[in-house]
Amino acid sequence: MSIRLPIICLTLVSLFSCKTGAAEEGESFDLHAAYIQIVLFHLEQRCASCNAVEEETMRLLEGEYNEAFQSGKIKFIPMNYQSEHGRKAAELLRAAGQTLYVVYGDSISNLTSAAFFYAQTHPDYYHKALRKELDKYLK
């Protein structure tokens, strides 16, 4: 009994600690959405830069944009580029590999360079670029 409880607790913590406010598995890009979509294409095997992009995106959304994020005005959609949903969305956005787009209506902004160059080493630069795009659509 004394060994089971820590194992159960550890299992529960590991299951729920990695959950973010990001899109649920299976949610995909919607070309006709009435909300801002931040679409992160990643590969099955994720690198440190890709993980940093997701972490820093969530940090900004849960901090400065929490109201819009919680209300659904902004959605963060990480997608496996190699999955069926990922390939379809990548085709619509003309994405090739690991990329980050901010999409609202007919407007598609490619933030791949800012995201992958700066999220891990200089997150303030990435936040500034993402903030600029989000503010453009929220005002």
Tens-digit pLDDT string for the chain (139 aa): 455 544 443 333 333 333 333 444 446 788 889 999 999 999 887 788 989 999 999 999 999 999 999 999 999 999 998 888 889 999 999 998 899 999 999 999 999 999 999 999 999 999 999 999 999 999 8
Work out how many domains the chain is built from and give that number.
1
Q: Does a structural domain hold residue 14?
A: no
- CATH number, domain at 75? 3.40.30.10
State the residue for tokens 């994020």.
69
Helix %, strand %, coil % of the chain (to 5): 50, 15, 35
Q: Which residue segment(s) compose the domain that 33 sits in?
A: 22-138
Tell which residue, 76, 72, 71, has the closest CA to residue 58: 76
In a domain, 85, yes or no: yes
Listed in order, strand segments (DSSP E) in 64-130 are 74-80, 99-104, 107-110
12: in domain: no
